[in-house]
Chain A
Amino acid sequence: MTTLAEKVPASATSSRWENARRGFYRFRNSWLSIAGLLIVLVLFIIAVIGPSIVPYPEHVAGSVSTATRFQPPSALHWFGTNELGQDVFSLVVAGSQISLLAGLAVVAVGALVGTLVGAVAGYFGGWTDEVLMRLADLKLTVPSLILAMAVAAALGPGILNMVIAISISWWPGYARLVRGEVIAKKEEMFVQAARALGAGTGRILRRHILPNILTPVIIKMSLDMGFAILTVASLGFIGIGVKPPTPEWGSLLSIARTYMPDYWWTAVFPGSAIFLAVFGFNLLGDGLRDVFDPKARR
């Protein structure tokens, strides 16, 4: 009993910290998760400080130097130069900002809208549920890239429009996930207890149901980040994403496509960046799932 008493956490924060420490221990046991976390961290650091450390900031802004077109990778140009003589390394590093920002925005907006819709549908049930979920099903019948293309084409190019377009095709996944979780959780005794206490719908959803279903949502967000970046790049690739000269991985790849295979470096490096980002976020998502859901562990 004395040993127990000594371990009593002094506050809610220290108790949460203890839980987080145990979770991180499980996370640390898998080197793939750590690799994912490192890749993601490095990507974010590059996205934040990248534009100020690139060797040729003028190329990022859109200036060209035709004298140095299609130079292969060298000490001067790590990733070579493209058809306009721009340094590919500078463009790829600067492009990380758009890709990560847009991916993050898509996932955040999708998760926010989806959680809201799913929570309302799951909690109220009946007609509300029917209408909202049929709407989500309807959305799921249309391939997301096609819908995003249509929306982006209708709204016109631009980062914000692209984020809106992809988010529209992104929320139903979250809505379905959250709806299922809410339906399971609303029958839990502690939710019934809160209702018996006289807690209103808002309080029950906010304090009792949502905190208990946040884990799968966070895991899905992490797994989705990779796909969101890929979708952003896809829209860039087909030319309805970000307008040049703003560097973006998808559009860099799209332009480089015509110069394959002779000037391979113009395509390989933006492509590798996309691959690395998707790979990193997937590893991180898998790692998080293992931490939060011990049953799914190998």
Chain B
Amino acid sequence: MIEQYLSPSELKRLLSALLVVALFIAIMALFGFLVVPGTRNVNQPQTATAVESPQGDTGWLDPTDYPAAARQVLPPLDPRTVMTPNPGLMARGKVLFAENCATCHGPEGRGNGPAGVGLNPQPRNFTQPTGWVNGYRIEDIYKTLREGVKGSGMVSFNYLSRKDRMALVHVVQSFGAFNHGPEDPKALDALAKLFASSGEVIPDKIPVAFAEQQLESEFTPAPPIPGTRTNPLLKEAVTDPARAAQTLAGIPRWREDDKALATAVSIGLPGNGFSPAVATYAPDQWKALQSALAGH
């Protein structure tokens, strides 16, 4: 059909020209594909829109930012509700035991909780009457909860309320099938009087950022040590004068007791502003350093 309009040679020239044009367009398209943004990468990020975090820079609500609250005094406890087990108290105590105790003492109180495996001494086994450090009477267990056990992993739980601690006492006793009595009536009376006499105090709370400000405003830098640049003794012993002054301020009686000074400075090495060389000082050198630090 096209032969009617174009001779073969004209057709050939036309096709050649079209081919050149098509090649040109193909090359330009390839470069456009490479250069023009957005045509190449399907994962190209969309135009970024700033997302405002609700609070703080993490995007989460800041748990350290809460309104300041004045102290609260709870009403005194009625001893009759806590001195002997009752169903409500036991239910509460079981929950508290699972939360606070079971990880070391085990869910059945056998002292075989997962976190207790590495402890020395081992957590108490509440099912056996042996080995109780403070004893297993009500007042003894209460004392343990209040004070902890020195030299063991048992810390003081006196941040729990008195009622919660008494609930735990009864739950701990309920694990052992042996006889836990007899209680010392005087001690029990004292406990009951304590519960009835005064309420517990929930302390004042302020936001953490404000607590930081308070600590910063209360902080007074330690007085500088005189002569750290001139005294050769101090030049050798003190590497960071400001830090050394801060360390000295935290050592009680260093002006009077050169042995206390030597101990307190030596154990803080390195990082307390003193040169590690002071660890090798003899007693008379410490005396000299003490008087140099005091500015004599």
A, B in one complex: no
